Amino acid sequence: MTEARRVLLCCHDAGGTVPPMLALATELVARGHDVVWISQPSVERRASGAGCRFVPFDGLGDYDATRSIEDQPELAMALMTGTAVGDQVIDVCGSERIDAVVIDCNLASVAAATESLGLPSAVLLHSLFRTYVDVWLGEWWPVFAPSVDAARARYGLRPADGWTDVFAGHDRLISAVPESFEAPVDGVPAALRHFGFLVPGTAKPPIVPHRLAAEGEPTVLVGLSTTYMGQETLLARIIDALGSLPVRGIVTTSGHVAAGTASPSNVELHEHLDHGPVLETASAMITHAGLGTVAAGLSRGVPLVCTPFARDQPLNADRVAHLGAGVVLDSEASTEEIGRALMRVISDDGYRRAAAAVASESRAAGGARAAADDLESLLP
């Protein structure tokens, strides 16, 4: 191990942005590094729990959990492209004598500010690289470009032709998926590294459901987005489907369940729950296909039923289906369609074998341990 250094982690709390950063933070702290984490206040509890020193972004609060992030553009743009966060990161790097910086891929102004300092740095991709090239945020680049270029000009950098230029000034692009899960794309940067799924460890002590499945009774975990995406009607249909099947359903709602939704006798509803203990024995997982829940399930070899809404979710779901590790449904799927898809995934061993193969590849890639090794190699 290299000598202990000071590492700064930077992200915003957009749901899937936090878990891979948390996995890396935990590993760096375990190696004796002094880790400072700058983000929105909602991240403080997790950052402190991992042993990091937390710094909140000045004057920027949390996203409103009752609205989609897309409906909060002023705050999102201030975090992703505003120069105030870039200036604060420069100040923290100086006052804390930071040796290396890890930046969430969405924070373009922080990426530019860090690049101007010349410190060893890595961009952590919480989404597939392709989402920044030709789908989702790649498609949104014309909207971001003016404010990104204004930030880059502030820090003495040339305009960017796209997200790849935003990333290009950094030593590493850390992908949070195994290489087979990455969607094909031309022009992959030489700095891109795949370390498998970066999944945080189980909480100590773990929070577990009231009753796990009886012997021979399949357990199904349901986890849709932790950020609001209008998922309450889909959750209600999923709960109805579980109630009609010979399974034990464990449903995490993140507070987004519709008022008055009844829980059948074989289904438990939890606002928040550590997925790890449930996934250790789960037969399947129903997910919106955000990369955080996909990673949690596939890293443990659990096959998936994917119900993508938007963002990077359709691409993630397509990769799950391509690898044979699950099936994809429309987010408007009926109760009956959800039930049939779930029983298909549970009863066909091919899905579990494919999921197990992805899990094996992910473990071989080294996860947070290998990512930390690589980050340490950048330090002088």
> What backbone torsions phi and psi does residue 352 show, to the nearest 5 degrees?
-70, -40
**Which parts of 96-212 fold into alpha helices (H)?**
108-117, 141-154, 163-168
Q: Give the pairing of strands 267-270 and 284-287.
A: unpaired
Mean pLDDT, residues 196-219: 69
pLDDT single digits (tens) 282-315: 999 999 999 999 999 999 999 999 999 989 999 9
**pLDDT > 90 in the chain, percent:** 83
Say if CB 326 and CB 308 are below 8 A apart: no
Q: Could you tell me which residues come within 8 angstroms of residue 375 by beta carbon, excluding any fewer than 6 positions away?
A: 7, 24, 28, 100, 102, 120, 122, 172, 174
- Give the CA angle between residues 63, 65, 71 to the nearest 5°: 65
pLDDT of residue 206: 52
Query: Looking at per-residue confidence, does 54 or 261 come out higher?
Result: 54
- Number of CB atoms found within 10 A of residue 103's CB: 27
- Give the CA angle between residues 284, 276, 22 to the nearest 5°: 125
pLDDT over threshold 90, residue 131: yes
pLDDT over threshold 60, residue 215: no
- Report the side by side order of strands in the sheet with 192-194: 53-56, 34-39, 6-10, 100-104, 121-125, 172-175, 192-194
Least confident of 118-132, 250-264, 330-344, 361-375: 250-264
End-to-end CA separation in angstroms for the chain: 13
pLDDT over threshold 60, residue 77: yes
Q: Which residue has the tokens 């031309």?
A: 186
Mean pLDDT, residues 264-281: 88
What topology is assigned to 219-362 in CATH?
A: Rossmann fold (3.40.50)
Least confident of 243-252, 266-275, 325-334: 266-275
Least confident of 115-124, 196-205, 253-262: 253-262
Gap between the Cα atoms of 140 and 163, Å rounded: 10
pLDDT of residue 208: 53
pLDDT of residue 203: 61
Gap between the Cα atoms of 283 and 319, Å rounded: 20
pLDDT of residue 274: 85
Q: Tell me which residue of 39, 144, 66 sits closest to 152, measured CA to CA.
A: 144
Query: Looking at per-residue confidence, does 357 or 227 come out higher?
Result: 357
Average pLDDT over all residues of the chain = 93
pLDDT over threshold 90, residue 96: yes
pLDDT over threshold 70, residue 89: yes
- Which tokens sit at 361? 């590849």
Q: Could you tell me which residues come within 8 angstroms of residue 161 by beta carbon, excluding any fewer than 6 positions away?
A: none
Note the CATH architecture for domain 6-170. Answer: 3-Layer(aba) Sandwich (3.40)
Query: Looking at per-residue confidence, does 368 or 202 come out higher?
Result: 368
Q: Could you tell me which residues come within 8 angstroms of residue 52 by beta carbon, excluding any fewer than 6 positions away?
A: 9, 25, 29, 35, 36, 37
pLDDT over threshold 60, residue 259: no
Say if CB 9 and CB 36 are below 8 A apart: yes
pLDDT over threshold 60, residue 264: yes
Mean pLDDT, residues 15-44: 97
Gap between the Cα atoms of 289 and 128, Å rounded: 12
> What backbone torsions phi and psi does residue 125 show, to the nearest 5 degrees?
-85, 105
pLDDT single digits (tens) 137-182: 999 999 999 999 999 999 999 999 999 999 999 999 999 999 999 9
| CATH 3.40.50.2000 residue spans of the chain | 6-170, 219-362
